[in-house]
Chains A and B, each alone.
Chain A
């Protein structure tokens, strides 16, 4: 630790997470995954004990507003084991605590609620931690703008928020990159976005991502960030701690005549320790079958490699030349053109179009979720490819 001091920055532990739909299809795997968030956090604590002076947790320690005592007790045990100072804020998932009286946090934990600052001395150097918490599952307040550091002291800002450049906005403490500047805060420890990213370079504002991938869309390594400070210089190092890796694998149907060929093309990428997050792409005669029965492909890969396979996306297209077909003057050309024009609409417009009938209004809250994730335009393309498949591959 050739630095002045170092700390662990983690967020979105989502301890006690459920794994979408798995409990019914594969209870054993669901159980392994249930434990995975706890194991990942235990590894973060291990890393912290070995290499850090303190820890900041930027919200969503728990997965659900219904915080269970089992989860709380496990978390408290790890915090105790860490022993060094821990500074926490709450996010949208853990804004309400249910067991703070009977299962209190240990003395080394400081949990911010309203904006506050705490100074500690680490290896002879004064360090300040400023934090603010969600006071409920949603807030439209700009929490970032509420934090200030003390001039002359290295300050870590801890907050759960949605930065407009990456987040889906509304209800999750929206803020902008400019809010990070000029606050006498030298490092912004953020939480909320599950994908690891640095949203601002100066001062550094970092989302460490969640600590354990929980479904096909949370693929890749997950863990925490070790922040080392020397003078004014800040260095970050990602430490992977995930228990289960969701590994992206892509199967391309282009040029494949049958499913066996498709399966053998990805066999080498299979990793039996990981869960494969399978994307099927390409263009060819297999389009129809992989679109309508992607599970068949997943099962075949699973049988052939022993790996667990989850379908992430199917973005295949039928074996037609879209560019040529667009000008062919056939029904297909009209389908392509209609899709093109729909894909130019905004997410909001597509949402409005889908929910135009009063009968569909109650689907809106669900579809809003996809609109916020920018998935509806992709869905237009999926619909297009599905249609082209239906119109050209019937009976194949």
Chain B
């Protein structure tokens, strides 16, 4: 779309003016307030009525027209009538009124506002290839995620993978340390052995403690009963002292005393008998009787013979044969008979019984024979009767004299002698009895006396008898006391030693117990070993995190590699037209010093220093350079935004630029005007001249201005 003719009948202060326009570069030159802005406003507001320009104020009396030629060659006239316009340019061009002001019809402030092309539709439509709309965002996300894991250049300790690797190494070291610490299977085995030893030792020391405890308790009990013990000891001493009295035997004493008394009486009685008998024979010479006893008895035995012979008066004496004493012949006969009977029995009945009987009979006969031989009578006297009487009488006399017996009659004398002899014998026997009784009595007396002597005499014995009661009393007391301490075993150590022994044993046991507990703990530490296992878990976790992070990094890296390849290919083959054109405009404008940064990954507009290759983003631009870059971009966009290419209207946008920049801009605008109609309004003579040199058609704008000062 190109404006062929502008007819202003009334707009602002401009009245009744007509401008013919070239299809290319048109310059409207005039001083300030000459009406350039009014003309720009008229053209803009007539083409895009909602473009929103506020100068000059729209009025009901505004009128004029634009004659335009479309790309297809058709001619249209847009009429302005008051605030309205008949323009169909927005529809024809496919852009809205705001976009027109932003891209096509610009004063310096609009030039610098590039928001409209940096984002949204325009950017996606003109600064990227199809499908590349989200490319910068994708790159940004990939790179930020990836470099957070691991930067491309020098390793930072703060990046995630470096941190995770450090954690992994630390965890690995920890496991290694722990495994070194416990490399000792032998250490464990040694602990097990030590434990066994300590268990045995503990059992020993427990036994020792128990023993010491028993001693200690016994000693305590002993201590508690020490009073009793002393009492017992005292009583025991007393008991020992009285023990002698234990031998007192009242029954025995009584028996002995009675024996003594009885035997003494018996002895006295016998002494009386003896004395009385002795008195009777006190005139008999006992020794002589003893000497002559045989003779007296012989005489006494001869009394019968004497009397017979004396009666016969002197008959010769015959041998007196005394009657055999006993019945020896009977025995002899009975024995003989038995022997005969025995022989008969032996022959007739039974040999052995018979022989036995015969032998018995013979033995009996022999006994009879023997006795007869022993008792053979003695011849007392032989001779004549007279001799015998004389002899008898003489002997009686002699003896009577010797024995102090009156010899009135020999027979009487002999009988007296015999009586005396018997009496003497009786006295001797009584004497003997007496002596015997006396001895017994003496013995009894001695026994009693000896018994008393055991106690030191009778007095002492009587004391002992009194002491026995006391002893019994002591013993009863002892028994009672002993009962109270009967379970109190005797101890050989005192309480202090026992306590000390117990403490020592306990300390020893505690020591063993502590050692055992330590070994148990050590074993438990090893066998339950959660430290190592936790360390292994931590190492495993840490390792897992490194592996996962590496995998994440690898995926992001692959995304970047894929995207790099894709972008290189895509942007190599389908470089966006806008960028290409902006690049050539900037090249023209800066005399080749700067080119557009065409990296599709860039999220903001950048330029490249052609000499250094350094990329400069907006922050690094001078205001003049900023104008150049943004103008280049907007010029390029203006060519692409609408196929109908509405005219570009620029209102002194180079006013602040230096000469060099103005020249460059003029060249670029000249280039631009080859493809699109350009209307440039300026009050700057230099710009006007440069534009003219670049082939612009220059028209002066000078309108009468009532409020012009």
Contacts and interface: CB of A to CB of B under 8 A. Distances in A.
Contacts of B150: 359-360, 363
Contact of A391 (B135, B183, B191): B135
A364 to B, nearest CB: 9
Interface in A18-71: 18, 20-21, 23-24, 30, 64-66, 68-70
A328 interface: yes
B185 to A, nearest CB: 4
Given A335-B562, A339-B562, 12 more contacts: A30-B537, A98-B183, A330-B132, A331-B135, A341-B565, A350-B558, A353-B561, A363-B150, A363-B161, A379-B558, A380-B558, A383-B556
A265 B152 CA distance: 42
B155 A367 contact: no
B394 to A, nearest CB: 138
A295 interface: no
A380 to B, nearest CB: 6
B550 A16 contact: no
A392 B548 CA distance: 26
Contacts of B183: 98
Which DSSP category, helix, strand, loop or mixed, fits chain A's interface? helix
A23 B540 CA distance: 10
B376 interface: no
Contacts of A97: 185
Interface of B: 128-135, 137-138, 141-142, 150-155, 161, 165, 175, 178-179, 182-183, 185-186, 188-189, 191-192, 526-529, 532-533, 536-538, 540-541, 544-548, 550-551, 553-559, 561-563, 565-567, 569-570, 574
A102 interface: yes
B529 A330 contact: no
Interface string A72-107: 010000000000000000000000011111110000
Given A331-B132, A354-B554, A66 B155 contact: no
A99 to B, nearest CB: 5
A329 interface: yes
A382 B130 CA distance: 23
B544 A387 contact: no
Nearest to A393: B134
Contact of B130 (A66, A329, A394): A329
A266 interface: no
26 contacts: A23-B538, A66-B536, A68-B533, A70-B528, A70-B533, A97-B185, A98-B183, A102-B188, A103-B185, A329-B130, A331-B132, A331-B567, A331-B570, A334-B570, A357-B152, A363-B554, A366-B546, A367-B554, A375-B551, A379-B551, A380-B558, A382-B558, A390-B134, A390-B138, A390-B142, A391-B131
Contact of B555 (A64, A102, A353, A382): A382
A337 interface: yes
B562 A376 contact: no
A332 interface: yes
Given A98-B182, A98-B183, A390 B141 contact: yes
A338 interface: yes
A21 B134 CA distance: 35
Most buried by A among B185, B528, B544, B555: B185
A69 B142 CA distance: 47
A362 interface: yes
A21 B559 contact: no
Contacts of B541: 18, 20-21, 23-24
Contacts of B135: 331, 391
Q: How many residues of A sit at the interface, in one of the four size bands? A: 35 or more
A331 B553 contact: no
A21 B547 CA distance: 11
A331 B566 contact: yes
Interface in A363-396: 363, 366-367, 369-370, 375-376, 379-380, 382-384, 386-387, 390-392, 394
A254 B541 CA distance: 34
Contacts of A382: 555, 558
Q: What is the interface of chain B mostly: helix, strand, loop, or mixed? A: helix
Contact of A69 (B141, B154, B526, B570): B526
Given A20-B540, A24-B541, A366 B141 contact: no
Candidate in B142, B165, B538, B554 with the most chain A CB atoms within 10 angstroms:
B554
A77 to B, nearest CB: 12
Contacts of B540: 18, 20
A333 interface: yes
Contacts of B128: 331
Contacts of B185: 97-103
B129 to A, nearest CB: 6
Given A359-B155, A390-B134, A394-B137, A68 B559 contact: no
Contacts of B529: 68-70
B134 A66 contact: no
B569 A64 contact: no
A342 interface: yes
Interface of A: 16, 18, 20-21, 23-24, 30, 64-66, 68-70, 73, 97-103, 328-335, 337-339, 341-342, 350, 353-354, 357, 359-360, 362-363, 366-367, 369-370, 375-376, 379-380, 382-384, 386-387, 390-392, 394
A21 B528 CA distance: 22
Contact of A342 (B154, B161, B558): B558
Given A98-B185, A334-B567, A362-B165, A383 B562 contact: yes
A374 B551 CA distance: 13
Contact of A392 (B134, B547, B551, B556): B134
Contacts of A360: 150, 557
A360 B154 CA distance: 10
Contacts of A21: 541, 544-545, 548
A66 B179 contact: yes
A328 B573 CA distance: 13
Contacts of B556: 383
B141 A330 contact: no
B138 A391 contact: yes
Contacts of B559: 383, 386-387, 390
Contacts of B562: 335, 338-339, 342, 380, 383-384, 387
A23 B135 CA distance: 39
Contacts of B189: 101-102
A16 B530 CA distance: 11
Given A21-B544, A328-B131, A334-B570, A16 B533 contact: yes
Given A66-B178, A330-B129, A394 B138 contact: yes
A238 B135 CA distance: 53
A23 B535 CA distance: 11
A168 B488 CA distance: 85
A290 B189 CA distance: 55
Interface centre among A328, A334, A341 (most CB of B within 10 A): A334
Contact of B527 (A73, A367, A376): A73
B149 to A, nearest CB: 10
Contacts of B152: 357, 359
Nearest to B165: A362
A394 B188 CA distance: 62
Contacts of A342: 558, 561-562
Nearest to A331: B131
Nearest to B189: A102
Nearest to B541: A21
Contacts of A339: 562
Nearest to A64: B536
A351 B154 CA distance: 20
A52 B529 CA distance: 34
A390 B132 CA distance: 11
Contacts of A390: 134, 137-138, 141-142, 559
A316 to B, nearest CB: 14
Contacts of A329: 130, 574
Nearest to B600: A331
Nearest to A340: B562
A334 to B, nearest CB: 4
Contacts of B569: 334, 337-338
B537 to A, nearest CB: 5
